[in-house]
Amino acid sequence: MSADARVIICFSKDTCAPIETVARDETRVRGGLRLEEEPGAPPAAAVRAAAPEARCGADAVDAEAGAAVDAVDPGAARAAGENFPVALRLLPSSRRHYLMAVYGFARTTDDIGDQAPPAQRGLLLDDLEADLLRLYARPGGEPPGQACGLDGEGGAGGDRAEPRSRVVRALGPAVSECGIPMQPFLDLILANRQDQVVARYETFEELMGYCRLSANPVGRIVLHVFGCFSERRAEMSDSVCTALQLAEHWQDVAEDLRAGRIYLPGQDMVAFGCTEEDLAQPSASPQVRALIEFEAARAKTLLDAGAPLIATLRGAARTAVAGYVAGGRAALAAIAAADHDVLRGAPLPRKRRLAAELALAFARGR
C-alpha cells in the first residue's frame, strides 16, 4: 500500500524545518534531488532481522511479534521527510504528538505490506491487528488509558493483555483523548492485506474501493484528532484523501511497476492504447501521457470536490487540511509541468508552489 499523499509545508524557515520529501523507495528528496538514505539499516532489513522464522510457544511468539512490528516503526525522522504535513510545528503540541502516533501506525503498516519479506507480511499484519484489538479491548469498550494503564499495571482490567508493540501502545493517548474508533486503523491493515493479493485494478471504481481502505481512513482519523469529525466533513475528507492517493499513484507509475503493481485502471489503459510494456519504457509515449493527463484530471475533480472542507474548519484543523489540499494541487501541477511524463521519474512539487497553494487554500477556504 502506498498512501504517501504528497506534501509537507512550512510557513517559515524560522518556525519549521525545511520542506522535504521522501520517495517510497526510501531515498530522501530535497529540491527535486534524490539523495542517499541516511546511515542505518533500512526498514526492510530491520524486519528481516526481527521477523519470527518459527512460531513456537505463546510467550516467544508474543515477544517476537512485538519486536518484529517495532522493527519497522518509522519514528519522527521519516515523518520529517514525508510529502504531507504529518505534524506541523505550528499545531498544538498535544495534536502533534497524536498525529505522530497515528503516522507511526500508518507508516509501519505500510512498510510491513511493502518491505517485509513476502512470506512474513501476512503474519506481521496479523500480529499488528491482534495488538490493535488488545488496545481497544477494555471493560465497557472504554478506550485505553481510561480503564487501565497503558503499561498493564493497576486499574480495572489491568490483568488484560497489553499491546506488545510500541507503535500500537503509542496510539493509546490519542484514542483515549480523541475518541478515535478502531475501524479506520483496521481498514489501513486491510488495505495492506489487499496489496498482497491484488496487483492490478481493472476499473476506476475498483481503484476507488482500494483508496477507501488505504487513504480515506487517515483523513477521518485526523478529523477525530482535531475534534471536528462529522459525517459531512468525513465525506469531503474522503474526496481529498482519495485525490491525494491517486496523485501519488500517478507520480510513481514507474516505481510501482518495478514493485510489480499497476494502479492505472486496466480499462483506461486499453482505451488509451497503453500496454504494460509502455509503462516500462524510460520515457512516456504520447499514449501514456494522454492517459496520465486523463487520470490527473480525475484526481483534480475529487480534490476540488473535497476542498470546501477547509471552510468548515478553524485554527489548527484548518491549517492542517489546507496543507493536504495544497499538497495535492502542487503534486498535480508538477505532473502537468513534466508534460505528464511520469516515467522519467516522479514529478515533485516545488517548495514555493507548495507554500503558495497552502496560503491560497487557507485564505479561500477551499
Sign of CA dihedral 280, 286, 291, 295: positive
Eight-class DSSP state of 39 = S
With cut-offs at 50, 70 and 90, classify the pLDDT of residue 89: low
Region 230-254: mean pLDDT is 97
Highest mean pLDDT: which range of 58-62, 63-67, 140-144, 277-281 = 277-281
Domain boundary assignment for the chain: 21-364
* pLDDT, position 40: 39
**pLDDT digits 0-9 by tens, 282-341:** 999 999 999 999 999 999 999 999 999 999 999 999 999 998 999 999 999 999 999 999
| pLDDT level of residue 365 (50, 70, 90 thresholds) | very high
pLDDT of residue 69: 62
Residue 21's pLDDT is 30
Sign of CA dihedral 222, 75, 129, 153: negative
Residue 18: how many other CB atoms lie within 10 Å: 11
Residue 35, phi then psi, degrees to nearest 5: -110, 165
Contact of 323 with 88, CB cutoff 8 Å: yes
> Which class in CATH covers the domain with range 21-364?
mainly alpha
Q: What is the mean pLDDT of the chain?
A: 79
Residue 28 has pLDDT above 80, yes or no: no
Confidence of residue 81 (pLDDT cuts 50, 70, 90): very low
Q: How far apart are CA 176 and CA 197, in angstroms?
A: 34
How confident is the model over 82-110, as a mean pLDDT? 79
Q: In what order do the strands lie in the sheet with 21-22?
A: 21-22, 28-30, 33-35
The Cα angle at residue 362 between residues 359 and 366, in degrees rounded to 5: 120
Q: Cα angle vertex 248, ends 245, 253, to 5°?
A: 125
Q: Give the predicted TM-score (pTM) of the model.
A: 0.77
